[in-house]
Amino acid sequence: MRTIRIAILLMAITFFAFACQKQTYKSGDDMVKEAMKTVKIITVDELDKIMENGEEIYTLIDVRQEIEHYYGYIPGSVVLPRGSLEFSIADAEFWENAGLYMPEKDEKIILYCKKGQRGILAAETLTKLGYTNVYAIEGGWKNWEVNYPDIYEKDLDKLGGKSEAPASSGGC
C-alpha cells in the first residue's frame, strides 16, 4: 500500500513539474509556427466570398499599426493594433468610437496584418481570451493586395500630407 502511495505521489509531482513549465522560443518565427498548430486560417478568396455574400456577421480587424493601415486596408476593417488588442477587444467605448458593435465571444473575427504573422499571434491571443470563432488571413494584407488589387482602400488624408510608406512594424 505504501508503494502505491509513493508511486502516486511521484506521478503527481512529475505531472505538476511538467505542467508548470513555460514554453520558450528562440524567435518570433518559432512562436508563429507553434501558434499555427491551433489557429484557424482563412484565405483571401474565402474572405472575398464572405464579403460579397453580405449575409454572414463578422468583424474584420487590422492588427497593424494605425499608420500602416492608412496606406491600404481591406474595406470594412477596423484598425486595432496587436499591442492593444487584449485591452480593446472587450472595451465597449473603443467599439462605440469605431462606430461598430463589440464582437461577441462566438462571433466570427477575422484578423490580418501585413504578411500574416502578427495576425496569427493575435488570433491565438483572442482564442486564449475565450473567443471561439477566430481566423487569421493567410498571407495578410499583402496577399489581399496582390489578389484583389482593385478592392482596397486608402486613407492618406489622415496622414497629414505624408506620402511615403512607413517602415514595417513588428517584423511582418
Indicate the pLDDT class of residue 120, thresholds 50, 70 and 90: very high
Buried b (16+ CB within 10 A) or exposed e, 8-43: eeeeeeeeeeeeeeeeeeeeeeebbeebbeebeebe
Between residues 76 and 170, the one the model is more confident about:
76
Per the CATH hierarchy, to which homologous superfamily does domain 24-159 belong?
A: Rhodanese-like domain (3.40.250.10)
C-alpha 52: how far from chain center = 22
**How many Cβ atoms from other residues are within 10 Å of residue 44's Cβ?**
22
Pick the closest to residue 104 from 136, 130, 78, 76 (CA basis): 130
List the domain boundaries for the chain.
Answer: 24-159
Query: What is the spatial distance between Cα 24 and Cα 91, in angstroms, rounded to a whole number?
Result: 30
Give the HSE-up count for residue 23: Cα atoms under 13 Å, Cβ half-sphere.
9
Q: How confident is the model over 24-31, as a mean pLDDT?
A: 82
In angstroms, how far apart are the furthest CA atoms of the chain? Answer: 80
Q: Which helix (H) or strand (E) segment is 15 a member of?
A: helix 2-19
CA-only gyration radius of the chain, Å:
20
pTM of structure:
0.78
Q: Give 38-54 pLDDT, tens digit per residue.
A: 999 999 999 999 999 98
